[in-house]
Structure 1
């Protein structure tokens, strides 16, 4: 992720002015228009293709005006126009290449951190975002909660309806989870039928309420199948929360233990890790 993106318009503008100012004072004796591509490429990378195109055109207009004033004769003006057009084309091509490169890198990042079937984060993305959330929670002394969940009897769904319907169930759950949490919460599919949530600034009581709200919503919903029939399913969920946690694995293990308890005591329920700890 790029930090302080809001500062790049000013930085790019300052660099552009500096290059044009240097050209004005050095004159036509030294040709260094290649440096014009620097603010164009920076603007494209940090601000987008439209900003890069705008910077390319504006910069070359100023450059042409300076060349026009410094030209030794009017006969040279036609060459200056041609050079200006070539500079603009080169800058635009460079901007497009940088834009394409950044877009490709972003797509690769999404592929590496997101689950292809559901579109939510995968285990790797969950761990990466979790590190940032833990850092923020420690910095602000926020409680941090983790919810882990399994689709009850998912193997039976696959065996009875086929893997295509199983995939439909996974996609449906991923979509419902995204709609059921805040924009600051993290939703991920860790693998198979196992999903997880990270809930920043959430204590155990509120995490349990959120988890139970999700459980009830899934329990009462009906998934429409391609043949016109409906399918219902339930979830088992494990919840934990802590303050000053410095490792995500600790919360994951606690939530997993609570989930194991929920599955072992009848399924379709929410169990808190603190409940399991007190019962042991």
Structure 2
């Protein structure tokens, strides 16, 4: 019973309760394992566009609904071998194992299309657009995770500067 409870507590600590994504702390542990394999791996940093405006205009229940909606779309589209974590606030990190950059960008663009197509928000009015911007980096060898995320972040901000709702790689 002790070990079962310990595993349950670990699972709770490693999972974001709102979105079901892994936590940032859990991501670092799991990312280390992903980088040990010598296959191509893509890191994708995603930031929901104008999220603060959604919270400010519609309230935090609306923001929570958008976060959950995004997480549901991502979870439907990625493979079991991929890692999805809530990096912070409205930022998420995807680690796509054994996937090249071109395929990763196609996957991210498909997620964006599905996410932007949601029109059944309960807490938002029908004219509210939801979208995200993303930065994708392909890794072919073991690297420093913080440096990879910094590269993703630079590409993410380039996507935002180029009009948002875009992917840069």
Question: Structure 1 length as normaliser, TM-score?
Answer: 0.57
1:122 to 4, 20, 23: 23
Distance in 2 between residues matched to 1:145 and 1:260, nearest whole Å? 18
Structure with the higher strand share, 1 or 2: 2
Match of residue 201 from structure 1:
98
**Does the alignment pair 1:247 with 2:148?**
no
Secondary structure of the equivalent of 1:197? strand
Secondary structure of the equivalent of 1:224? coil
Which structure 2 residue ranges, 5 or more long, are not aligned? Answer: none
Secondary structure of the equivalent of 1:266? coil
Higher relative contact order (CA 8 A, sep 6+): 2
**Does the alignment pair 1:184 with 2:81?**
yes
Contact kept, 8 Å, 1:123 with 1:190, in 2: the verdict is yes
| Cα distance, 1:131–1:223 mapped onto 2, change above 3 Å | farther
Structure 1: 4+ residue segments shifted above 6 A: none
Match of residue 131 from structure 1:
32
Structure with the higher helix share, 1 or 2: 1
**Does the alignment pair 1:156 with 2:156?**
no
Match of residue 101 from structure 1:
2
Deviation at 1:226, TM superposition (A): 5.4
Distance in 2 between residues matched to 1:219 and 1:156, nearest whole Å? 16
Distance in 1 between residues matched to 2:120 and 2:135, nearest whole Å? 24
Contact kept, 8 Å, 1:180 with 1:214, in 2: the verdict is yes
Which structure 1 residue ranges, 5 or more long, are not aligned? Answer: 1-99, 273-280
